[in-house]
Structure 1
Amino acid sequence: MKANQKTWAGLAFGGLFAVMTTGLILSASVSAQGNTSAAPAGSMPTLDPSKLPEGVASRGARTYQATCTGCHGVVGASTQAMFPRLAGQHATYLTEQLLILRAGIRPSQIMNRVAAKLSDQNISDLAAYLSAQKVGDAWTGQNAALAGEGAKIFGGGAPERGVIACAVCHGGQGLGVNSLSIAVVRHQSPGYATDVMHEFQKLGTTGTPQSTAMYLEMKPLSDHEIDALSAYLSTMP
């Protein structure tokens, strides 16, 4: 791996769908109180993933079926292009995202309300359940030529414009890295992928190193190139 690629990979930005990840969580000025279900009234819920209890997948399955299936599908493999697929996503990434969604640090009209009702135990259980599921199958109906363009960006980047290959961090198969909270992007919902990449283009450089890395990665890309990446991610062979 070239030196500049190592530098980018070392940022360990939390994948295509993180606005803010570990760097923000661990520096947030809140008190980690452990499991919110047992925390004293009025105490702040934790933002530190290390303070969460161990997750139980069977319990997470019950929470998921009661809370999440309407948007994300029966086992997290959404069939609606506007909603992200969660099946097979890394537990580290899921935990971090649910924590910042619960705290309102990552804005989402729907998910802020949903996550606000989750205890620390709920979050750990959901992460354990979803990470154990199989990544969903490839999406159909995508433009093959467009996906081919996206494959070139994913695998080779656009070095002349400072765009590194997405595969440097997310891996050649788009499976990310659990230990670094780098998200699985393989067979992600095409509409959601497009929307979030456009969101990254608006972030600027005032956030965490992770969010800044994604801003710099997305900023040079045209709408057509983002559509191409989305088509490829959703149909990766």
Structure 2
Amino acid sequence: MMRTFMFVVVAILAGAASAAERSASMLSYACAGCHGTAGASAGDSLPILAGLPREYLSNIMLQYKNGERYSTIMGRIARGYSDAEIDAMAIFFEKQKWVSAVSQLDPKMIARGKELHEQKCVRCHLGNGQYTEYLLPRIGGQWSDYLTIYLKNVNTSEFKQPQPQLMKESLSLLTDEELAALAQFYAAQQ
């Protein structure tokens, strides 16, 4: 009798875990139109989500949901999810394999971007932007166009974006061409 009871409990728990995984996977389908299947974005102005840290993804989505982060679309989408659903999707995307973007890049821009990275960004964005942890996203291998747009907008007044002060200060000193070079350098990191 006790064996049967334990078997039933284990089966129920396994089923619940499986249902939670399916639910997170199903929730992520809403993201596929822009961010690609399993977070492997095929759009050069939309970020890759696959493999990014759960904490980072949850934090960003909650910032969109609460209006703390500028967006044209993401705020409206995020408000449709509970905090638990956002966390479930973040866990799902964290488990997916990173697939680097394939961008058309200029070797001279990449070289200039490397210089800028070493001068301004290397303290936080280790491994040429491929290192990721907690609230620090991987940017190495991300789409060049997405990174260029993002970097250019960090210091604009209408682009409400929670960022470390050091990053804002460093980026404010760069020209648009230098920001594009930095983006190309990171995009080249496969």
Name the CA distance, whole Å, in 2 between partners of 1:72 and 1:138: 12
Number of the residue aligned with 2:155: 201
* Structure ID, larger Rg: 2
The Cα of 1:138 is off from its aligned counterpart by: 4.0
Alignment pair present for 1:123 and 2:92: no
Aligned equivalents of 2:106 and 2:65: distance in 1? 36
What 5-or-longer segments of structure 1 have no aligned partner?
1-55, 158-163
Where structure 2 has 5 or more consecutive residues not aligned to the other structure, the ranges are 1-19
Whichever structure has more helix as a proportion of its residues is 2
Mapped contact 1:73–1:79 kept (Cα < 8 A):
yes
Please report how far the alpha carbon of residue 100 of structure 1 lies from its aligned counterpart in structure 2 after TM superposition: 0.8
Offset at 1:80?
0.9
Deviations 1:147-205 (A, max 9, x none): 12112211x21xxxxxx3x22112124234423x11111211211111111111325xx
> Alignment partner for residue 215 of structure 1, among 158, 168, 171?
168
Query: What is the CA RMSD across the aligned residues, in angstroms?
Result: 2.1
The answer (yes or no) to whether the contact 2:54–2:93 under 8 Å persists in 1 is yes
Of residues 111, 119, 123, the one that matches 1:168 is: 123
Query: For 1:151-190, what aligned pairs fall within 5 Å after superposition?
Result: 151-154=114-117, 156-157=118-119, 164=120, 166-179=121-134, 181-190=135-144
Q: CA–CA distance in 2 between the matches of 1:198 and 1:148? A: 19
Q: State the one-letter code of the partner of 1:192.
A: Y
The amino acid across from 1:170 in the alignment is: H
TM-score by length of 1: 0.66
> How many residue pairs are counted as aligned between the two chains?
170
Structure 2 vs 1, CA of residues 196 and 123 (structure 1 numbering), >3 Å: closer, same or farther? same
Query: Using the alignment, how far apart are the partners of 1:167 and 1:72 within structure 2?
Result: 27
| Correspondences of 1:48-67 after superposition (within 5 Å) | 57-65=21-29, 67=30
Q: Which consecutive segments of 4 or more residues in structure 1 shift more than 4 A? A: none
Aligned equivalent of 2:73:
110
Higher relative contact order (CA closer than 8 Å, sequence separation 6+): 1
Contact 2:64 2:71 in 1 (8 A): yes
Matched, 1:133 2:88: no
Alignment partner of 1:75 out of 38, 41, 53: 38
Q: Which amino acid aligns with 2:146?
A: Y
